[in-house]
Structure 1
């Protein structure tokens, strides 16, 4: 039995409706899967970037902390250097004051004459020469010459040697120094400086650790006493 046009149209509409429903269901399924994949990918990207941001700010925080430590260390070192400079300046001032008072040594002529004899004897023992020139201030010439006999006697007792001493009248020491002598070998090959200033400088270097401790107290961080 042949289908009428109406039946054919009805079946066509029925098939079209079925196909459309299938297409809609498939589209909804695709949309749902796409939405799910989008949500998953979005979550992954959000988490990934969140970790990157956290890592970035952790690095920043560590860098800030490191900069703070470096800055604090630099300030501490700078303050220590300033303290050391101030201490060294104070020590220089103390030594300068001591040097300014050296002239007091020459006021007591008897003590100064004994000191000249000792300074000459020490120089003789250091050089061990047969003949030496002695340099002194012009104003000390007579006192130095008077100290020769006792100095030479002490030298002979200590070393068993003899030496000829002569004032170097061509080269007196500057009048501005406080006193003392220099011993010079012939030809100016070797010189021993036993001026009061030279002795003070040598003594200051030897006693520098003690001077620091006396002025500023013991420093537990100092490894070397110099």
Structure 2
């Protein structure tokens, strides 16, 4: 039985509707897959950027922390240096005060003459030479001569040795010194410096650790005391 034109048109419309439905479903499937792939890729990109951002800020945070540690260390070192300088300044002030007190001793002839006697005799004992030369300030010549005269018999009795002593009348010690003497052997190559400044310097070197402890207390980080 032959199909009529109406039947043919009906079948064609049916086939077109089917194809259109198939195409529509295919489009929806493609759209859904594309949306899914898009979301996956977007999530991957977002995660990648999030990781990069986190790494960037972690790095920045570490840099800031390191910079802060360096600054703190620098500030602590600066503070430590200031403390050390303040301590050194205090000790220097004490030494200056000691020098001023030495100058006061020299102004008292009775005390100074006794001090000179001890310094001269000590020079004799340290050299143990048969001939010595004594240098002093020009204004001290008379006192030093008296000290020499007094100490020669004491020295001879103690060491059983003669000694010839002269005062250098050509090269006097500077008047800027507080006082004291320098004692030389005969050829002038060996010297005992017994000026008040040199004695103060020697005592300072010997007592500086003790002075620091008295002024500032014991250093807890110090392992050795000598």
How far 1:113 moved relative to its partner?
Answer: 3.0
Distance 1:11 1:154, change over 3 A: farther
The reply to whether residue 127 of structure 1 matches residue 134 of structure 2 is no
1:64-102 deviation per Cα after TM superposition (whole angstroms, max 9, x unaligned): 333333323322222221122122112111111110121
Match for residue 184 of structure 1? Answer: 184
Distance 1:135 1:13, change over 3 A: same
Match for residue 58 of structure 1? Answer: 58
Distance 1:22 1:186, change over 3 A: farther
Q: CA separation in 1, counterparts of 2:194 and 2:94? A: 21
- Within a 5 Å distance, the mapping from 1:1-226 to structure 2 comes to 1-156=1-156, 161-222=161-222
Q: CA separation in 1, counterparts of 2:86 and 2:166? A: 45
- Report the more deviating stretch, 6-15 or 133-142: 6-15
Q: CA separation in 2, counterparts of 1:110 and 1:93? A: 28
Distance 1:125 1:7, change over 3 A: farther
How far 1:149 moved relative to its partner?
Answer: 4.4
Q: CA separation in 1, counterparts of 2:160 and 2:14? A: 144
Distance 1:115 1:19, change over 3 A: same
Q: CA separation in 2, counterparts of 1:185 and 1:8? A: 147
Distance 1:26 1:176, change over 3 A: same
How far 1:178 moved relative to its partner?
Answer: 1.5
Q: Which runs of 5+ in 1 are unaligned?
A: none
Distance 1:3 1:161, change over 3 A: farther
Q: CA separation in 2, counterparts of 1:200 and 1:7? A: 135
Q: In the comparison of the two structures, how many residue pairs are matched?
A: 226
How far 1:210 moved relative to its partner?
Answer: 2.1
TM-score for the superposition, normalised by structure 1: 0.83
TM-align CA RMSD: 2.7
How far 1:154 moved relative to its partner?
Answer: 5.0
TM-score for the superposition, normalised by structure 2: 0.83
Q: CA separation in 2, counterparts of 1:27 and 1:134? A: 121
Q: Which runs of 5+ in 2 are unaligned?
A: none
Q: CA separation in 2, counterparts of 1:155 and 1:223? A: 44
